[in-house]
A and B are shown apart, each in its own frame.
Chain A
Amino acid sequence: MDLISKLFVALLLGWSGCTGLALELTPSDVPADDVGSPLDIVWTYNARAGFGPDAVLLFDGHVLVSTRQGEVHVIDAQTGKRAGVKRFGEAVNGRPVVLNNILVVPLAWGRRALAAFDMKQSKFLWRVRGAPIQTGLVAIGEDVITINLDGQVQRYRGSSGQLVWESTIPVDRTAHARPVLHEDLLLVADDGGGVTALDSDGGMLVWQAQLFAPVYATPVVDNGRLFVPTTRGRLYALDLRSGSVLWEAALRDTTVRIAPPAAEASQVIAGASDGRLRAWNATTGLLMWSIETPDALVAKPLLTSRLVYFGSMGGVLYVARREDGHMIQEIELRGRIKSAIALESQGLIVLTEPRYVVKLGPKKPESATL
């Protein structure tokens, strides 16, 4: 066993109590108390390659981040020190999941689509051949659901890699957005502008909807609504049970891409390639406010009870008030922010170009000088 694997095992042994469900909860979907402000950089970690659009995984005081070089890094959330790293051979673009100590990683290229690594025994448990998977995985109980480049939606047993069911989205389409699980519904938005709702237990079609524009960014579910961002300046709100369009926000400029939204209670907030962060009324679709920034916004924002945190392609992390969009703080980081921001118990975890994991926390008061 190589040293890296030993380190990995040593680390992962401590995760035995974790469940996939806990990992699937995206921080920005769960409003929490504000981190505090002003923010300051706590630590920076060099992950050696770039990142996909999803946020990092967090638990038990560690940050787990996958890179486009095909590595999964485990970082001590407190210190920012490397706790372990494992290579998976091919690029990883979507976020992995952890199911009862089994790390399941989607591989963005090559013959193998999925690799499961037993973190207790430090060995590969199973691999699945098939079309590459470039989106993040969805954990459901002890299983994992994927969508590959051929548009096949598949559910696998986490323990064995056994295929449970398989379904497909319309022919000639694929998904670049991570599927969304809500209770028993699996929602898949594709690059043909279609949204497919499947029964997550059996993969049966529940409903389908066709939107005006392709979907390349991950939708979000809140309060019985599915909010779908598209590439041609439109954001849709669909009824989760029927797929009918509740409202549609259309920008005049059809070249604008809406970034993955975050939603909570009465608000759905999303950035866009035109550099604006917009907040819509989640019920009516009316624009509540918008903030202009100098650079494109492609990453999913993070909502807390009072604030919204969002990063830009200019490498700036912004903090604004959710209520009215009033800007509170701007922090210049080392590179573009293209990935969703994660909320860690004592701060934010931000992924920046070219290859840095950055933790930000409340700025410590400067020591008084006499």
Chain B
Amino acid sequence: MRFALVLVLCLAFYALPAAAQYSWYFGRNKIQYENFDWRVLKTEHFDVYFYPEMQTLAEHGAAFAEEAYAELENRFNFSLTRRVPLVFYSSHLHFKQTNITDSFIPDGVGGFFEFLKGRVVIPANGNLHRFRRVIRHEIVHVFTLNKVTRVLRDYRIPPDRFLPLWFTEGLAEYWSGPRDYQHEMIMRDAIFANYLVPLENIYRVNGTYIMYKEGEAICQFIAETYGEEKLLQLMENAWIDRDFREVMTLTLREDFQVINDRWIDWLRKTYYPRLEDAQIPTLMTDGLSVRGFNSKPVYYRRKNGRRQVYFTGNHDGYSNVFYVNVDSLYQPTGKPEILVRGERNDQFESFHLLDSRLSVSRDGRLAFVTKSGEADVIHTYELEAEKLGPVFAFKNQVAIYSPTWSPDGRKIAFVSIDLSGFIDLYVYDLKADQLQRLTNDSYDERDPAWSPDGRFLAFSSDRTSEGDDDAYNLFTYDLSSGAIDYLTFGKQHDFSPRWSPDGQFLVYTRAHRDADGRYGGQDIYVVDAGPSMPANVAVGDSMGTYRHAVPGASTRWQRRLTELTTAAFDPLWTEDGRIIFSSFENYRFTIRTLAQADSLMRAPRGAEPVSLAQAGDAPWSFDRIPASTSLDRLQYKRRYGLDIAQGQISNNAVWGTSGGAVVAFSDLMGNDRLFVTMYNTSQYSGEFLRSLNVNLSRVHLNRRANIGYGIYRYGGLRYDLTDPDAPTEFPRFWEEIYGGFGAVSYPISMFRRVEVSTSLAWDDKQIPERRIDRQALLLSNAVSLVHDNALFSMNGPVDGWRGKLTAAYTSDVLYSNVNYVTFEVDLRHYLRLSRHVTFASRLLARANHGREARLWFMGGSWDLRGYPLFDVRGKKAWFTSHELRFPLIEHPSVYVPPLVILGIVNLRGALFFDAAHTWNDRYHERIGQIFTAETLGSAGFGLRLNLFGGFVLRYDFGYRFRDSFQRREPNLFRQFFFGFDF
């Protein structure tokens, strides 16, 4: 279920394509849907930032943070001397709006610690146990950073080294709580499927979920084998060597390879005994969809008799709703097909792949959830008519998970997080358009399932009296009385209940601790749930009030149907008794079918009555640190802190020596940013003021429309190829410009935005060589429409499209010396021919028309290949490029291990074809060597090499074509460049 929340619990999550909030050329939009009214709760060691709607949650978070501090102060034998800012969001959807990082935050990120200002940013998302654990995880990072930085400073070692990511993340996981069932699932699978990455190669999986879990396992191994104190000692010895392997060898007093071998032996001894009697999913079940990621299956038999299994998945980069046809034996009769394409448009921005189930009504309406704008919505799809149905959105309901249809199809039940950050059960009446809240408390309800008779909702929750031990049990909600009854009880995790078609049973998953305290596999269970069963123990009602338990009232049986090596998720009981589920094995989620449920129930792997003897005690709750009763006193006040200060001196044959500095400030929320840029290009002291360039700008990011404004003064020698008046041979001249600008970027959706900018500037240009001394008061206005839903791979986009349409007008409002319009269209389309092959096309058209219209230029590796940069110039231009991108070496880590050591992640090839044409108003007559007034082109082959996952080395070679492709130049050109594909 909330597997996603810890999928990438992270200190330093990876930079995704950054937000387009500064009017970058392309890029998706990080939209501020909410105008958060920030408040500050000050505890002994933390400043907790929250908004009033989530005050209770923030008070819990504050208590969790102080609780973690007290423990970690002991573990680190260290105290923090500065207050730590903790920024809480009530849901992951709100968290995605944070400006503390410019990166987009995917669903899996549970929180992050930002080094620059030491900010910890965490969403709650409905589960207090998880919230507590993530807070602890991030505070471990805070301590680790401060501790190691202190050690390095004590020894006067430059802070250009740090602990490896696997250690910092592993330690944060290890010290944030007991190993959970997800840890055990991953490590068991890694051992059984033999993809465990040895310690010496762990850099190969840097930043992945397996790295987190392996890091946690290594820390546990070190603690158990060498002593818990060695973990701290590893940090205290960080000064000794840049190579952490040396630090480990010294600290643990064993050779690094011996440590690695001992760790792997330790893992094998831990997990191999569990293989006995365990069932391997791929051997005991049939696969329905096994490629890519697949989850949350539901089944429907159409009126024409066709059986179909629907599920959410991600096979090629975009997440979709898929379906696969199956026969009467539940064997797939074809490949999975896409039913609803996701993540390409505003309607289906993203799915909660691991958190939200699908549901099909009896009359064939599929309900599923996507993020759409500021909140989640429930979509319906009419399977018989094969068309999208109504969409349901609810005011103040931020996140929605797992809709389930009532048997009559008139209502939908689901769980949802409101602004407070707590998750509760809701029922929506479609006809009456009424939303009813069924629970209202701090417990985590999950996966509601409507009983076939319509009387009950079964769901999973931590509202059990074992819930303070992070247990989840199954409950029913009686829709007529509002009573909540136990269905199962114990210290296990019971998730994902579904009713059998006759309503006699519930099938669900369970993970429980074995005798050694470790979680075993997550298996499929069935519990008696028929209407003849006596109501067990009333443990609460919709308002969360509890009555005392009546022990020993149960005669229910729970049967274990599987004993898997790893884990089963979301089992489903079909009309003819099959069980369909998603399975985790070999680091993949697949959809599988199990044998007939009744045959499994006749010979279960285990069976026992549900024991409620201990159930129903007083409800558990977590501590809180109450905020002031007067929220006004807690109002967030904007204070600016330094983000970056950088100076630079450069020497250039054209410019001579120049120097400058950039300083950036922002407030704690990253909403308000100030930039100061200064540089000077003077050649001697007398020119200093004349050549002083200053830019002061401010950007507001706290509203949906991002607003920027500023003033500037640029003066001195300019080298400008785009100025039509500049000397053609050596386009250098004096110019002084000062003025102000304003810009607004309004995101229509995650994928589209409108950009508007204006500037007013006094411009004095002097070109003695051409006897030009032109003064102008320039007013320039521009408007752009940008679209970007491209999907990126290692070397650049591989799917989707992006485009930009710009119109601008620049004029001299005082003397009419300058007066020109600008039009620009840039379209890029990526057609995915197969998983690894993409055909990319680009069409660019540009025109500047009018007095002193600027020139466009082309050439170089990024557009017209084979022609030198700047040598293709014109006031009007078109350009087109087409590229077939394909892999040459897809998995060098497997086939060519030495390449990995060199940081080479993959090697790809490209067949390209470029063509362009530029026009000028006799400009080219002044400079003969530029290419203009003819259609140019090039074609050839290129290599793309991704180094260290971040730099793409491009090497192109081919032939140039001239005179509208009538003439091919004889020599092969070669070009070498760093940069992503277009």
Contact = CB atoms under 8 A, between A and B. Distances in A.
Given A68-B155, A91-B239, A109-B240, A174 B81 contact: no
Contacts of B79: 275, 294-296, 312-314, 336
Interface in A241-277: 253, 255-257, 273-275
B71 A314 contact: no
A273 B74 contact: yes
A170 to B, nearest CB: 12
B177 to A, nearest CB: 14
A256 B154 CA distance: 24
Contacts of A312: 79
B229 A191 contact: yes
A214 B44 contact: no
A211 B926 CA distance: 91
A28 interface: no
B723 to A, nearest CB: 53
A149 B154 CA distance: 20
Interface string A149-177: 10000000000000000000000101010
B552 interface: no
B153 interface: yes
Interface string B66-103: 00001101110111010000000000000000000000
B78 A68 contact: no
Interface in A4-22: none
Interface residues of B, number: 23
A172 B227 contact: no
Given A68-B155, A68-B156, A174-B253, A253 B81 contact: no
A336 B81 contact: yes
A174 to B, nearest CB: 7
Given A191-B227, A275-B73, A315-B81, A48 B250 contact: no
Most A C-beta atoms less than 10 A away, residue of B150, B154, B229: B154
Given A49-B154, A174-B253, A255-B75, A231 B81 contact: no
Contacts of A273: 73-74, 77
Nearest to B155: A68
A238 interface: no
Given A69-B155, A353-B150, A255 B74 contact: yes
Given A274-B70, A353-B150, A69 B77 contact: no
Contacts of A354: 153-154
Interface string A70-95: 00000000000000000000010000
A216 B75 contact: no
A88 B50 CA distance: 52
B154 to A, nearest CB: 3
Contact of B81 (A91, A172, A314): A314
Given A50-B155, A68-B154, A298 B227 contact: no
A192 B81 CA distance: 31
Contact of A296 (B78, B154, B250): B78
Interface in A54-70: 68-69
A294 B69 CA distance: 11
A151 to B, nearest CB: 9
Contacts of A48: 156
A231 B153 CA distance: 25
Contacts of A253: 74
Contacts of A296: 73-74, 77-79
A313 B78 CA distance: 7
A362 interface: no
B531 to A, nearest CB: 50
B156 A49 contact: yes
Nearest to A110: B240
A130 interface: no
Given A353-B150, A354-B153, A149 B250 contact: yes
B240 to A, nearest CB: 6
A354 B150 CA distance: 8
A335 B154 contact: no
A85 to B, nearest CB: 14
Contacts of B155: 49-50, 68-69, 91
A346 B77 CA distance: 31
A174 B70 CA distance: 29
Nearest to A50: B154
A353 B229 CA distance: 23
Nearest to B150: A353
Contacts of A336: 79, 81, 150
Interface string A162-198: 0000000000101010000000000000011000000
A49 B152 CA distance: 10
Contacts of A91: 155, 239
B122 to A, nearest CB: 23
A49 to B, nearest CB: 5
A313 B227 CA distance: 24
Contacts of B156: 48-49, 68-69
A214 B77 contact: no
Nearest to A174: B253
Contacts of B253: 149, 172, 174
A313 B79 CA distance: 6
Interface string B153-168: 1111000000000000
A331 to B, nearest CB: 16
A50 B155 CA distance: 6
Most A C-beta atoms less than 10 A away, residue of B71, B74, B229: B74
Interface in A306-339: 312-315, 335-336
B235 to A, nearest CB: 13
A109 B155 CA distance: 11
Nearest to A109: B240
A186 to B, nearest CB: 22
Contact of A214 (B70, B154, B229, B250): B229
Contacts of A51: 154
A231 B154 contact: no
A257 B154 contact: no
A176 B227 CA distance: 14
A274 B81 CA distance: 15
A295 B73 CA distance: 8
Given A214-B227, A214-B229, A336-B81, A274 B74 contact: yes
A132 B847 CA distance: 71
Given A294-B44, A313-B79, A50 B153 contact: yes
Contacts of B250: 149
A281 B81 CA distance: 33
Given A174-B253, A315-B81, A336-B79, 18 more contacts: A48-B156, A49-B155, A49-B156, A50-B150, A68-B155, A69-B155, A91-B239, A172-B253, A191-B229, A214-B229, A231-B229, A253-B74, A274-B73, A296-B73, A298-B77, A298-B78, A314-B79, A353-B150
17 contacts: A50-B150, A51-B154, A68-B154, A91-B239, A149-B250, A172-B253, A192-B227, A214-B229, A231-B229, A257-B77, A273-B77, A275-B73, A294-B44, A295-B79, A296-B73, A336-B81, A353-B154
Q: 6 shortest A-B CB distances, which residue pairs?
A: A50-B154, A313-B79, A295-B79, A255-B74, A273-B74, A69-B156
Interface of B: 44, 70-71, 73-75, 77-79, 81, 150, 153-156, 227-229, 233, 239-240, 250, 253
